Structure 1
Amino acid sequence: MDVMMPVMAGLEAARYIRWSNKANARDIPIIAMTANAFTEDRRRVLEAGMNEHLGEPMGSEVLLKTIAKS
């Protein structure tokens, strides 16, 4: 999920998904994709309920390994 989406930011969207009443809301893998790669950015992503933080640009191998792990 892009952290900087135009209508609803990724952090807000992740919180919405995680705290919704859907049965699988806590199990859906959410991976942040963002150019914001500082430690604070990673902390905010994880606090919002995302599973992983990937800084852009990233190689396809990194993305595929992260998806497989999630």
Structure 2
Amino acid sequence: MKTKDKTILEVEAFKGKEILLVEDVELNREIAETILTEAGFHVNSVEDGKQAVDYMESEKGDMIDLILMDVMMPVMDGYEATQKIRQLEDKTKADIPIIAMTANAFEEDAKAAIEAGMNAHMAKPIRIESLYEIIEQYL
């Protein structure tokens, strides 16, 4: 994302894509929703891993193109939620790209995310350019 033109092109590619945002902290969720909506995504938000699994099991889960998953959440953490999503009978849903978004930025945290079945790991706070670059790899 080195030039303004490149940013515009990448944002155009995101228009109409559906993201499931899984984030328990309201302020973080609002910031991420704003960033993603401005890029052209349609954002569906839930507050914990259990809600994410329930969403993906529902008919609405058929529309999701990518999941941004917090790791540390109440009820069900992002690791367990990812493992449950990966076990869904519907392989389209089970294989959906899942990107960890977490304040835990150490190498072992990234490794734990991958071991849980996530496709990538992104440290918070969110850097818009990094977010777009990671998402672009999976859409």
> Offset of 1:5 from its aligned partner?
1.7
Report the TM-score, using the length of structure 2 for normalisation. Answer: 0.48
Following TM superposition, where does structure 1 have runs of at least 4 consecutive aligned residues deviating by more than 4 angstroms? Answer: none
- Structure with the bigger RCO (C-alpha within 8 Å, sep 6+) is 1
Look up the SS of the partner of 1:14 in the other structure. helix
In the other structure, the counterpart of 2:3 is: none
Q: Which of the two has higher C-alpha Rg?
A: 2
Residue identity over aligned pairs, in percent, reads 54
Greater strand share, structure number: 2
Counterpart check, 1:65 vs 2:133: yes
- Deviation by residue 1:6-60 (Cα, 9 ceiling, x = unmatched): 121000000001122122112x010000010111111110001100000111311
Aligned equivalents of 1:15, 1:34: Cα separation in 2: 17
Gapped runs of 5+ residues in structure 2?
1-68
Counterpart check, 1:6 vs 2:74: yes
Greater helix share, structure number: 2
Size of the aligned set, in residue pairs, is 69
